[in-house]
Amino acid sequence: MTDAPATVHLADYQPFTHLVNGVELTFRLAPQATRVLARIRFAPNPARPGVHPLRLDGEGLRLLACSVDGQQVQAALDAKGMTISAADLPPDGFLLETEVEIAPADNTALEGLYMSKGMYCTQCEAEGFRKITYYPDRPDVMARFKVRIESDLPILLSNGNPVAKGKGWAEWDDPWPKPAYLFALVAGELRARSGRFRTFSGRKVDLNIWVRPGDEDRCAYALDALVRSMKWEEEVYGREYDLDVFNIVAVDDFNMGAMENKGLNIFNSRYVLASPETATDDDFARIEAIIAHEYFHNWTGNRITCRDWFQLCLKEGLTVFRDHQFSGDMRSGAVRRIEDVVVLRARQFREDAGPLAHPVRPESFVEINNFYTATVYEKGAEVIGMLKTLVGDDSYKRALDLYFDRHDGDAATIEDWLKVFEDATGRDLAQFKLWYSQAGTPHLKVAEDWADGVYTLTFTQTNPPTPGQPKKAPKVIPINLGLLNPNGDEVLPTTTLEMTKAKQSFRFEGLAARPIPSILRGFSAPVVLDRKAPPEERAFLLAHDTDAFNKWEAGRALAKDVMAEMALKGAPVSRAWLDAVAAVTFDESLDPAFRALCLRLPGEDDMAQTIHALGRVPDPAKIHAARREMSGALAVRLGEGLSQLYKALDDGAPFSPSAAQAGRRALRLAALALLTRRDGGKLAAAAYAAARSMTEEIGALSALLDIREGEAELQAFADRWGKDANVMDKWFALQIAHAEPAEAAALTGRLTARPDFDWKNPNRFRSVIGALAANHAGFHHRSGEGYRMVADWLLQLDPLNPQTAARVSTAFETWPRYDASRRKRAKSELERILDAPNLSGDLREMVERMLAAG
Ligand code: TRP
Ligand code: ZN
């Protein structure tokens, strides 16, 4: 049957008709014919009085047997599930037993039970459990699960604690009631890297990271990150782990990053496996963050889950917020904050400004998989950060204690979440709640006045229209402000201004001279600050601001001003900018990681977004040329100092993935990239040959590719790493990222013709097709070749893996920003996708939403 997907509305929520009082599952694993036997105890749900049939979700299942209290019953089956009429159901509760057959080896969607390189694994969030057995597959139905796995494979894992095992079978018992989306099963030929953790109450926990044979020596970092996460959560949130074992499994075929299944986290292998030779410093940081993220879900997600999928940000926003806090504590807080904001702007601001904009808590959806977005995750985390800023650290802690206390074991809502803050602080959060319901990034304008020793800042917020939300009310915006006097001293340390109106003024008295404002310190709210400032003021803040975020932000704003002038008006590279960056680059008192960030130019897509927000039409080719010209000029301006910097930063110390060493490498490689612009690649070729870590290998190779060199090194890289899929993903992505705009699509075409372009593997697909979409000037090349190639591949992937096809389709979400010719080409590709026969509901929803923009 073709999909006739229905829209689900938050307003229609009703509790399920029944409660589940226990689930026993038996799996007889076989690639083409796995049998799943389910024994499920149902009871009437007092929250739904009356007599109800039993409606269970189920997709792609072959039903072999179905009985109620031992009596065979006739269930009515359809493409989405089964219904057992009330007449067949004892009113006071009953045992349902079913047996179904499924074929994990044929499951290319990687949702439900599937196979990856001979290993069985599951992915049930959001609605994958219904592809395993008939069940009320919704997060507010929580139950205890007992699982028996029968298979000849040596390692058989499921949620909870192991209870028994023998030759060819194993049994697991999860004492914590959970929704079906947290169910997991893994079976395979696996090896563990193991550790131990003792919780603060004295519980001993066995930790295992399960990988394929040969990968054992790449688990140490993930294991260490896990132990640090467990300890940090005890210290900072007072929460401890609650089972005897914590298992993590690395899987090569995975649609997303990782999954927090109770006691059995499943990870995309690229976010677990790491050694200095194979992982970059960014990989190490990401692994640390994702290990923490999934572990933290044990409390924010599992012990307290979501009532329905509209509440997704309840667990995701909070868990992202907590993993950001953790990474900030493990590394440089300032550097982490800057990097998080870079990602927020690149993904979430982009989403919020386009046709896919939606509230942090959406009110309707067709396919829930399409709402695992930067808005739900990243903006969801920012909203919690604002709440913490507004109530203060102590109140935040009290509110969180109350949350865990009051809602442990619940399937909760955003209303529940806000209520604990209201109860803990006495604050009315009605207006704050708009952050959850109104889409779009607020813009903040600032006017200054200085008269008679009184300095006045007047802020005006505008909340732009988004799909389905033409008019909006003003939000509560916490604006962290500092004031500096003209000699660079801070005259007002960071103070939180609470803006609640559309337009609002704040007065500062007793100042000797007109101050220079440092607004939105630490990026205290996810807004666009529309403030024109002269280059001297930006340079002043870059030199003097005591807030590391705003110090960086001043340089970034200056770089954007310069790039916009160049792209729009053909202006030359600004001296003021070059001098300001030079001063920071060579300032030995600053953290190298911070200096490396200041050397990084704004991305081209980010620039296009900024130009579009100015009411102008971005030209990708001009932005690309301007950006290259800026780095060329920077290479000249920084001159000989770069060589010295490059040499001085090599201390010869043995490799460590520490933030401090990573920061030095980042600055050193930034220097190398600029030096390479001047020396024809001599130094970079030598650096490649001498590289002792993947960071250095990739850094040197990037520098070479940037100047159209590096053929030999690319070949050497492939010779060395050809058998390592996670490393080869970098090889594919890097070339496409550095391709000349006019050549990006053709290069992608050549790479997709290689036998190792395994397009059914989501990591490989993203590292090639996703990389083309991320090459701004290449994807948006006026020929339309980029659009066409991405559309072709989406159409090819969609029938096999709709979820990943739908995610990658967001490449097109910015199409309305460009000129008429590009818009026409992009739109016709989207229409071509929509015309495809048997298009998945996932991809259809995305394309329809994107086309609705114009
Ligand atoms: N809950 C997971 C996380 O954020 C996300 C996730 C993993 C997911 N796999 C998925 C969501 C598949 C939807 C579909 O950690
Ligand atoms: Zn998550």
- Residues 185, 44 share a domain: yes
Q: Is 316 in the pocket of ligand 1 (CB under 6 A)?
A: yes
Last residue of a domain, one of 403, 437, 471: 437
Confirm if 549 and 341 have CB atoms less than 8 A apart: yes
Distance CA 634, CA 645 (A): 14
Task: Tell me the per-residue pLDDT of 830-843, one tens digit each, with 9 for 90 and over.
Answer: 999 999 999 999 99
Pairing of strands 54-57, 81-84: antiparallel
Task: Tell me the per-residue pLDDT of 294-336, one tens digit each, with 9 for 90 and over.
Answer: 999 999 999 999 999 999 999 999 999 999 999 999 999 999 9
- Residues 564, 673 share a domain: yes
* 460 domain-assigned: no
H or E element that contains 113:
strand 112-116
Q: Is it the case that residue 133 has pLDDT exceeding 90?
A: yes
Residue 368 alpha carbon, nearest atom of ligand 1: 13
Q: Is 763 in the pocket of ligand 1 (CB under 6 A)?
A: no
Domain with 772 in it: 722-854
Please state, for a pLDDT cut of 90, what percent of the chain lies above it: 99
Task: Tell me the per-residue pLDDT of 349-389, one tens digit each, with 9 for 90 and over.
Answer: 999 999 999 999 999 999 999 999 999 999 999 999 999 99
Tell me the three state secondary structure of residue 474: coil
- Residues 155, 12 share a domain: yes
Tell me the three state secondary structure of residue 545: coil
* 282 domain-assigned: no
If you average pLDDT over residues 277-292, what whole number do you get?
98
Q: 294 CA to middle of ligand 2, Å?
A: 6
- Residues 726, 651 share a domain: no
- Residue 3 — pLDDT band, cuts 50, 70, 90? very low
Number of folded domains that form the chain: 4
Q: Is it the case that residue 393 has pLDDT exceeding 90?
A: yes
Confirm if 568 and 611 have CB atoms less than 8 A apart: yes
- Residues 137, 51 share a domain: yes
> According to the model, what pLDDT value does residue 853 have?
84
Structure tokens at 692: 């002792």
First-residue to last-residue Cα distance in the chain: 30
Active site residues: 294
Pairing of strands 528-530, 443-451: parallel
* 262 domain-assigned: no
Q: 316 CA to middle of ligand 2, Å?
A: 5
Confirm if 812 and 850 have CB atoms less than 8 A apart: yes
- Check which CATH number belongs to the domain holding 93 and give it: 2.60.40.1730
* 699 domain-assigned: no
* 83 domain-assigned: yes
By most ligand atoms within 8 Å of CB, the mutation choice from 107, 370, 372, 804 for ligand 1 is 372
Structure tokens at 220: 């140490």
Q: Is it the case that residue 5 has pLDDT exceeding 90?
A: no
- Which amino acid residue places its CA nearest to atom 7 of ligand 1? 259
Edge-to-edge strand list for the sheet holding 81-84: 54-57, 81-84, 76-78
By most ligand atoms within 8 Å of CB, the mutation choice from 123, 259, 311 for ligand 1 is 259
Residue 290 alpha carbon, nearest atom of ligand 1: 15
Cis peptide upstream of residue 126 (ω within 30 degrees of 0):
yes
Residue 215: partners with Cβ closer than 8 Å, 6 or more residues away: 191, 250, 269, 273
Tell me the three state secondary structure of residue 497: strand
- Residues 169, 22 share a domain: yes
Q: Is 125 in the pocket of ligand 1 (CB under 6 A)?
A: yes
Residue 258 alpha carbon, nearest atom of ligand 1: 7
- Residues 727, 670 share a domain: no
Q: Is 126 in the pocket of ligand 1 (CB under 6 A)?
A: yes
Let me know the angle formed at the C-alpha of 694 by 663 and 759, rounded to the nearest 5 degrees.
120
Task: Tell me the per-residue pLDDT of 748-781, one tens digit each, with 9 for 90 and over.
Answer: 999 999 999 999 999 999 999 999 999 999 999 9
Q: Is 294 in the pocket of ligand 1 (CB under 6 A)?
A: yes
> According to the model, what pLDDT value does residue 1 have?
41
Confirm if 75 and 54 have CB atoms less than 8 A apart: no
- Residues 31, 175 share a domain: yes
DSSP string, 246-311: EEEEEESS-SSSEE--TTEEEEEGGGT---TTT--HHHHHHHHHHHHHHHHTTTBTTTBEESSGGG
Does pTM top 0.95 for this prediction? yes
Q: Which residues surround ligand 2, an ion (CB under 5 A)?
A: 316, 319
If you average pLDDT over residues 264-272, what whole number do you get?
98
> According to the model, what pLDDT value does residue 2 have?
45
Last residue of a domain, one of 147, 170, 189: 189
- Residues 358, 420 share a domain: yes
- Which amino acid residue places its CA nearest to atom 15 of ligand 1? 259
- Residues 671, 603 share a domain: yes
Task: Tell me the per-residue pLDDT of 161-202, one tens digit each, with 9 for 90 and over.
Answer: 999 999 999 999 999 999 999 999 999 999 999 999 999 999
By most ligand atoms within 8 Å of CB, the mutation choice from 113, 121, 124, 125 for ligand 1 is 125
- Residues 177, 29 share a domain: yes
* 688 domain-assigned: no
Last residue of a domain, one of 412, 437, 462: 437
* 618 domain-assigned: yes
Task: Tell me the per-residue pLDDT of 775-826, one tens digit each, with 9 for 90 and over.
Answer: 999 999 999 999 999 999 999 999 999 999 999 999 999 999 999 999 999 9
Q: 209 CA to middle of ligand 2, Å?
A: 19
Q: Is 367 in the pocket of ligand 1 (CB under 6 A)?
A: no
pLDDT mean across residues, the chain: 98
- Tell me the angle at which helices 604-613 and 620-638 cross, rounded to the nearest 10 degrees: 120
Provide the β-strand partners of residue 120.
115, 187
Let me know the angle formed at the C-alpha of 339 by 334 and 342, rounded to the nearest 5 degrees.
130
Distance CA 331, CA 346 (A): 22
Q: Which ligand is nearest to the CA of 182?
A: 1
Q: Is it the case that residue 651 has pLDDT exceeding 90?
A: no
- Check which CATH number belongs to the domain holding 604 and give it: 1.25.50.10
Within 10 A of 592 (CB to CB), how many other CB atoms are there? 21
- Residues 664, 760 share a domain: no
Q: Is it the case that residue 652 has pLDDT exceeding 90?
A: no
Tell me the three state secondary structure of residue 40: strand
* 384 domain-assigned: yes
